[in-house]
Chains A and B, each alone.
Chain A
Amino acid sequence: MLSRIAESLFWIGRYVERADGTARILDVHLERLNQMPRPVQRDVSRQLLGVMGSRPTSDDFGLPELLDALAFNRSSATSIAGALGAARENARRARETVSGSVWEGLNTTWYGLTQHRKDVVGTYRFCHWVIERTAMVRGLSDTTMSHDESWQFLVLGRSLERADMTARMLSTRDVHESGLSWVNMLRCAGAYESFLRTRRASFGEQHAAEFLLLDRLFPRSIVYALSDAEKCLSNLNPAYQRVGFINDASRIVGQARTFLEFHQTDDLMSELPEHMERVQKACARASDAVSRTYFSQAAELSWVGEVS
């Protein structure tokens, strides 16, 4: 398929997942932030924004500014609205490749962005709406697109973003002293019920961390997401299934996954932020490698006219 289109699909996968992940994180944090005194709110808001990969634009940064930065600011790819806008724009450019229903799902979502109140209460509803809409787009892409190369790029983007998002979420654990409880952390990932069923109610911090980091059956765990990315990479290039990893992306993702899997959970826990940063870096490097391998051909035309 066209390199340019493959790149669009990869980014549709990433942006849709980013909107979903950001909505989940914001939803859970809002509940806590609301219950804090104003000065603490401001600190926590700043730190949360930092974890999500952005910086406050002004000194006067509090809850309303956080809502704008993570939910409604259309010109920033860190916000939900920005991510959904970017996903829609990529789908518009790859419209003949994504299925009609995926395009329509993203398009109507984009039009729906304006219909939400931008206060705290409105943002709760907004987050839930985003979680539903992105689930719909994901479902439609899984059921209405051929699971060929185009879909593999979409899922590759989705998996890398998901590993990155779970890592960011786990980093927020240390954002503030009061700390996000593990119950809320699990809720962020939509993992609370499956965790309870897996571990029963008798759990401690370590088990919850293990679940989100290492569970091989829970789809939003880091190890699960990284294995998904590995699968996509090997489907995209079956030649590498035999020996070695000429493909940089496969090597980076595989290293990150095995590093986590072969570490003692105790060690991981004691240096959680460092490990989570490592996962995020691996995701970024893998993304670059994919782009070099498959998309670089779509480089801008470097034509210079004969007559200047």
Chain B
Amino acid sequence: MSELFQDYANAARRSPAYDEMFDGDNRPRAEYNPVAAALDELNLADVTARADSMARTFLDRGVTFDFAGEERPFPLDIVPRVIAGEDWQVLERGVAQRVRALEAFLNDVYDKMTVVGDGVIPRRLVTSSAHFHREVAGFVPAGGVRVHVSGIDVVRDDEGTFRVLEDNVRVPSGVSYVLENRRAMAKGLPEAFGQQHIRPVEEYPRRLLAALRRTAPPGVEDPTVVVLTPGVFNSAYFEHTLLAGLMGVELVEGRDLICRGNRVYMRTTAGEQRVDVIYKRIDDEFLDPLQFRSDSVLGCPGIVNAARAGMVTIANAVGNGVADDKLVYTYVPDLIRYYLNEEPVIANVDTYRLEEPAAREEVLDRLDELVVKPVDGSGGKGLVIGPDASAEELDALRGRILADPRGWIAQPVLQLSTVPTMSGGQFSPRHVDLRPFAVNDGDNVWVLPGGLTRVAMKEGSLIVNSSQGGGSKDTWVVDGQSESAPIAPPVQPLAERVSVWPVETSWQDRQPEQQQQQQAAAGGEDGNNA
């Protein structure tokens, strides 16, 4: 290994976590061989230059997220996260299974609530969820789909087993970085690409658009799809522009839309134009001041009524938040069994439900060993990691839990797996998680091969959120050598293609002729070369 890995083995040995790149004997795992070989050729100066160049490219291209009003590039590390094809198959099945179960659950809780009647999940738990919206109860969304897009966060535990950490079925973000990271890596570490077949990710926008069009209100021949953004100050604004751009659809803000007669229109230079499918990247609470927050100007009044009347498809459907409530999460394995009659492919992380007295008692005794999370939080907000917290913080947490047991869950501190990451002039193990993205068109759940690997940039830190200083890695799903990789279509020989041009004189023949002409012109009286 190159000098960059000199101290890596020691650092990795100190950590109990599963290392994605190296096995227990410090040898690269099979799926990492081409990456290891590529890195082996590089020295510190090379890697630093490439990392700088990647960062510069991100800034130039505006691949940024907005942090407290400042545009920051999302740091991309040069070592990719590699997942073997056979491991990916399991993840793919597990993610799709989860999406199908959550879709069924959402259809049920906004309709008959059989899941409650059959005693699978307590009614109180559903109705007390902050994102259970009675406003949308009792109607089937136009197009029949609720979870068009999802991001199911998974981690590898210290055994190397994948576990689901949480479900995101409201507005999961990050897919733009998956697309941009791949482009950047093709330039940053080209040596590693030629040696293997990495599953492409660029299909995503096409798949997303197809799914959105497919779920348009019935009877619409050629649906108009738009992406709805809260605007340029949103932290994911870059992603909104990228997706709208790659799908070739308009990126609208709430003020571009108008509802009339339960139909939604956008204001264009040629007057108002009907909108059929809205891929919303706004939280439910800001979507429609008539239904939710009356002080919101990000959304458009009347849009929920239009959806209720079946005149417009909103993706993801309003009210999905009840399915990614972290307390509901603890029931997802049961939901999979209940709705799909299948065993869960990927296990949950063990989780304490703090509203159950016995569990609560145990957790309150062991607060300093556990991670405690609010059930409706996102982006790592409000999360407390016991071993890192001070006595005062734990006391305050205890008070908050006792005041609102429904609002919290607790999990053991999980040693997320690590991947070598460039830091201070060498590679060190850094913890990562993974967000695979799934697109559901009603018939099929398609999982983007790869997903967003987020990495905690600080040593030992388990917090990977971008808003907390995390970075990312390109995620490669590589097909094993044993399996037959898809073969690219044969390239047409060049000679055949150029022969369609009538070639009368070759370039060499023409050169003297051109020179003659130029010389004649220069000598002529209109010439200005003299």
Q: Which chain A residues have a beta carbon within 8 Å of chain B's beta carbons?
A: 1-6, 92-93, 95-97, 100, 103-104, 107-108, 111, 149, 197, 236, 294-295, 297-301, 303, 305-307
List, sorted by A's number, 26 A–B pairs whose CB atoms are closer than 8 Å. Answer: A1-B268, A1-B269, A3-B256, A3-B267, A5-B250, A92-B232, A95-B245, A96-B241, A96-B245, A96-B250, A97-B245, A104-B62, A107-B60, A111-B60, A197-B528, A295-B269, A297-B268, A297-B272, A298-B267, A301-B254, A301-B300, A303-B297, A303-B301, A305-B289, A305-B294, A305-B295
User: Roughly how many angstroms separate A19 CA and B297 CA in the complex, as a whole number?
Assistant: 34
| B59 on interface, CB distance cutoff 8 Å | yes
B residues 155-169 near A (Cβ < 8 Å) are none
B254 to chain A: which residues have CB within 8 Å? 301
A197 to chain B: which residues have CB within 8 Å? 528
- The main secondary structure of chain A at its interface with chain B is helix
| B244 on interface, CB distance cutoff 8 Å | yes
Interface readout for B285-302 with A: 1 if CB under 8 Å, 0 if not?
000011000110100110
B62 to chain A: which residues have CB within 8 Å? 92, 95, 103-104, 107
Minimum distance in angstroms from B270 CB to a CB of chain A: 8
B255 to chain A: which residues have CB within 8 Å? 4, 298-301
- The main secondary structure of chain B at its interface with chain A is mixed
| B252 on interface, CB distance cutoff 8 Å | yes
Nearest-neighbor residue (CB-CB) of B293 within chain A: A305
Interface readout for B270-281 with A: 1 if CB under 8 Å, 0 if not?
011000000000
| B260 on interface, CB distance cutoff 8 Å | no
Q: Judging by beta carbons under 8 Å apart, are B289 and A108 in contact?
A: no
User: Roughly how many angstroms separate A301 CA and B528 CA in the complex, as a whole number?
Assistant: 60
Interface readout for B254-270 with A: 1 if CB under 8 Å, 0 if not?
11100000000011110
Minimum distance in angstroms from A4 CB to a CB of chain B: 6
Given A2-B250, A103-B62: A294 and B269 interface contact (C-beta under 8 Å)? yes
A2 to chain B: which residues have CB within 8 Å? 250, 252, 256, 266-269
Q: Judging by beta carbons under 8 Å apart, are B256 and A4 in contact?
A: yes
Q: Judging by beta carbons under 8 Å apart, are B61 and A104 in contact?
A: yes
B284 to chain A: which residues have CB within 8 Å? none
| B251 on interface, CB distance cutoff 8 Å | yes
Among B251, B268, B269, B294, the residue within 8 A (CB) of A96 is B251
Minimum distance in angstroms from B206 CB to a CB of chain A: 16
Given A2-B252, A104-B62, A197-B528: A96 and B295 interface contact (C-beta under 8 Å)? no
Interface readout for B492-530 with A: 1 if CB under 8 Å, 0 if not?
000000000000000000000000000000000000100
B269 to chain A: which residues have CB within 8 Å? 1-3, 6, 149, 236, 294-295, 297
Given A3-B268, A95-B251, 20 new contacts (CB under 8 A): A2-B250, A2-B267, A3-B267, A4-B255, A4-B267, A5-B250, A92-B232, A96-B242, A96-B244, A96-B250, A100-B61, A107-B60, A111-B59, A111-B60, A149-B269, A294-B269, A297-B272, A298-B255, A300-B255, A303-B289
Nearest-neighbor residue (CB-CB) of A108 within chain B: B60
Number of A-B contacts (CB under 8 A): 75
| B253 on interface, CB distance cutoff 8 Å | yes
Q: Which of B251, B254, B266, B297 has the most A CB atoms < 10 Å from its CB? A: B251
User: Roughly how many angstroms separate A111 CA and B59 CA in the complex, as a whole number?
Assistant: 9
User: Roughly how many angstroms separate A96 CA and B294 CA in the complex, as a whole number?
Assistant: 30
Minimum distance in angstroms from B221 CB to a CB of chain A: 21
B residues 170-207 near A (Cβ < 8 Å) are none
B60 to chain A: which residues have CB within 8 Å? 104, 107-108, 111
B297 to chain A: which residues have CB within 8 Å? 301, 303
User: Roughly how many angstroms separate A92 CA and B244 CA in the complex, as a whole number?
Assistant: 13
User: Roughly how many angstroms separate A41 CA and B62 CA in the complex, as a whole number?
Assistant: 41
B244 to chain A: which residues have CB within 8 Å? 96
Nearest-neighbor residue (CB-CB) of B60 within chain A: A108
User: Roughly how many angstroms separate A305 CA and B297 CA in the complex, as a whole number?
Assistant: 10
A305 to chain B: which residues have CB within 8 Å? 289, 294-295
User: Roughly how many angstroms separate A158 CA and B443 CA in the complex, as a whole number?
Assistant: 49
User: Roughly how many angstroms separate A100 CA and B248 CA in the complex, as a whole number?
Assistant: 13
User: Roughly how many angstroms separate A93 CA and B301 CA in the complex, as a whole number?
Assistant: 23
Nearest-neighbor residue (CB-CB) of A301 within chain B: B255
A4 to chain B: which residues have CB within 8 Å? 253, 255-256, 267
User: Roughly how many angstroms separate A301 CA and B244 CA in the complex, as a whole number?
Assistant: 22
Q: Judging by beta carbons under 8 Å apart, are A307 and B232 in contact?
A: no
Minimum distance in angstroms from B266 CB to a CB of chain A: 6
Nearest-neighbor residue (CB-CB) of B271 within chain A: A297
Minimum distance in angstroms from A264 CB to a CB of chain B: 32
Q: Which of B59, B241, B244 has the most A CB atoms < 10 Å from its CB? A: B241
Minimum distance in angstroms from B14 CB to a CB of chain A: 40
Minimum distance in angstroms from A189 CB to a CB of chain B: 20
Among A1, A93, A103, A307, the residue within 8 A (CB) of B294 is A307
User: Roughly how many angstroms separate A61 CA and B477 CA in the complex, as a whole number?
Assistant: 63
Nearest-neighbor residue (CB-CB) of A98 within chain B: B245
Minimum distance in angstroms from B242 CB to a CB of chain A: 8
Minimum distance in angstroms from A295 CB to a CB of chain B: 8
User: Roughly how many angstroms separate A282 CA and B471 CA in the complex, as a whole number?
Assistant: 52
Q: Judging by beta carbons under 8 Å apart, are B61 and A297 in contact?
A: no
B295 to chain A: which residues have CB within 8 Å? 305
Q: Which of A103, A301, A305 has the most B CB atoms < 10 Å from its CB? A: A301
B271 to chain A: which residues have CB within 8 Å? 297
Minimum distance in angstroms from A28 CB to a CB of chain B: 24
Q: Judging by beta carbons under 8 Å apart, are B250 and A1 in contact?
A: yes
User: Roughly how many angstroms separate A1 CA and B266 CA in the complex, as a whole number?
Assistant: 9
B256 to chain A: which residues have CB within 8 Å? 2-4, 298
Nearest-neighbor residue (CB-CB) of B227 within chain A: A96
Given A149-B269, A306-B294: A95 and B250 interface contact (C-beta under 8 Å)? no
Q: Which of B62, B255, B256, B300 has the most A CB atoms < 10 Å from its CB? A: B62
B268 to chain A: which residues have CB within 8 Å? 1-3, 297
